[in-house]
Amino acid sequence: MTATTDTLDAPESPDSPDSPDTPQLRPQSLVLAFFGNHVLDEGDLCVYSGSIIDVLARVGTGEQAVRSTLTRMVNRGLLRRQREGRKMFFGLTPQAVRILEDGGQRIWRDGAVNEDWDGTWTLLGFSFPESWQRQRHDLRSQLTWSGFGALYSGLWIAPGRVDVHGIVSELGLASHVKVFHARADEFTDVGLMIRESWDLESVASRYSAFDKRWSAGDGVASADPIATRLRLVAEWLRIIRTDPRLPVQHLPAEWPARQAQETFRRIARETAESAGRMARELLETTPLRSA
């Protein structure tokens, strides 16, 4: 797979996290996870809407919710429609490909545990007119996905050197923010700063709940690997999109992200081949025509 931001839900802002014990996955998150699992690495393909509806029904998403989600995603530039006779097919746009590739980086390569932090921080400061509520909300949403926490109201911080040029440029805010890369002075209590800027308890509880739920086998149906893998990846991305990947040396002992990641990757491996085979049998596809 692969998927992001808010990027999994981009350009929409991230919704409030549900109780970690009862994750409610949004149809758009599931649709993007579906395309990340079964389309992204297959080249320029479109999938018949009926195939998408059938697969999402396996995780409890109704037909009308899928159809309205597909329409909204087309309107937001995430999907392309392509008619073949009386059937409607959907394919990825370049924007959606970027979103999914970014998510893939977060899921499969960066991982949930940051053990290679070099001691640097990225600081982003901004000050907007009071009337700019939408711009403020959009920027904060994108910063949250990129691992930033609020040091102060208009000063956000993230571990490492984070390239935010694309974020602020896309939002049209490049001339309204200031970005610095720096190291904390020796008298700064980095652990305290982290606890004040990020809600570590919430992040940890989501990892622990994920690991408990999937280790216990809840929702893991070997008879339906395509549904299992779809929900697995969508749930995992929902967690890591709210995890700033803070340096592990400044996190509490026994940080639960490591065990949760091992559980995720184990089940992902176990379902990869069977889910792929099932997708090839179930999905009706056609080549994506040039725009």
- Architecture of the domain spanning 27-99+282-287: Orthogonal Bundle (1.10)
CB 237 within 8 A of CB 189: no
Reported as a pLDDT band with limits 50, 70 and 90, residue 223 is confident
Across 253-270, average pLDDT: 93
* The pLDDT of residue 54: 97
Across 44-63, average pLDDT: 95
Reported as a pLDDT band with limits 50, 70 and 90, residue 23 is low
Reported as a pLDDT band with limits 50, 70 and 90, residue 246 is very high
* The pLDDT of residue 144: 87
Secondary structure (3-state) at 91: strand
Distance CA 229, CA 106 (A): 17
* The pLDDT of residue 222: 65
* The pLDDT of residue 242: 81
**Residue 1 in this model has a pLDDT that exceeds 70:** no
CB 238 within 8 A of CB 25: yes
158-191 burial code (b ≥16 CB/10 A, e <16): bbbebebeebbeebebeebbebeeeeeeeeeebe
Q: Which two tokens stand for residue 216?
A: 């216990």
> Looking at domain 120-183, does it have CATH number 3.40.50.970?
no
Distance CA 123, CA 192 (A): 17
With 0-12 / 13-18 / 19 or more C-beta atoms within 10 angstroms meaning exposed / middle / buried, residue 280 is: exposed
Q: What mean pLDDT is reported for the chain?
A: 87
Secondary structure (3-state) at 82: strand
- Alpha helix (H) residue ranges in the chain: 6-9, 27-38, 49-57, 63-75, 94-104, 133-145, 165-170, 190-197, 200-215, 225-240, 257-282
pLDDT digits (tens, 9 = 90+) for 145-177: 888 999 998 999 999 999 999 889 989 999 999
* The pLDDT of residue 10: 40
* The pLDDT of residue 22: 52
* The pLDDT of residue 5: 39
pLDDT digits (tens, 9 = 90+) for 96-152: 998 899 888 888 888 888 888 999 999 999 999 989 999 999 999 889 888 899 999
With 0-12 / 13-18 / 19 or more C-beta atoms within 10 angstroms meaning exposed / middle / buried, residue 155 is: middle
Single out the residue of 242, 222, 219, 223 nearest to residue 232, CA to CA.
219
What is the four-CA torsion angle of 4, 210, 16, 58, rounded to 10 degrees? 70
**Residue 52 in this model has a pLDDT that exceeds 50:** yes
pLDDT digits (tens, 9 = 90+) for 192-219: 999 999 999 999 999 999 999 998 865 4
How is the chain split among helix, strand and coil, in percent rounded to 5? 50, 15, 35
Reported as a pLDDT band with limits 50, 70 and 90, residue 6 is very low
Give me the residue label for tokens 């999938």.
47
Do strands 177-183 and 120-126 pair parallel, antiparallel, or not at all (unpaired)?
Answer: antiparallel
Reported as a pLDDT band with limits 50, 70 and 90, residue 31 is very high
CB 260 within 8 A of CB 208: yes
* The pLDDT of residue 14: 39
* The pLDDT of residue 35: 96
CB 171 within 8 A of CB 163: no
Tell how many helices (H) and how many strands (E) occur in the chain: 11, 8
Sequence-separated (6 or more) residues with CB below 8 Å from residue 90:
46, 47, 49, 52, 70, 74, 79, 80, 81, 82
* The pLDDT of residue 291: 66
Single out the residue of 234, 219, 127 nearest to residue 178, CA to CA.
127
Q: Can you give the residue ranges of every domain in the chain? A: 27-99+282-287, 120-183, 199-274
Reported as a pLDDT band with limits 50, 70 and 90, residue 241 is confident
pLDDT digits (tens, 9 = 90+) for 270-283: 999 999 999 999 99
- Are 27-99+282-287 and 120-183 equal in CATH topology? no
With 0-12 / 13-18 / 19 or more C-beta atoms within 10 angstroms meaning exposed / middle / buried, residue 215 is: middle
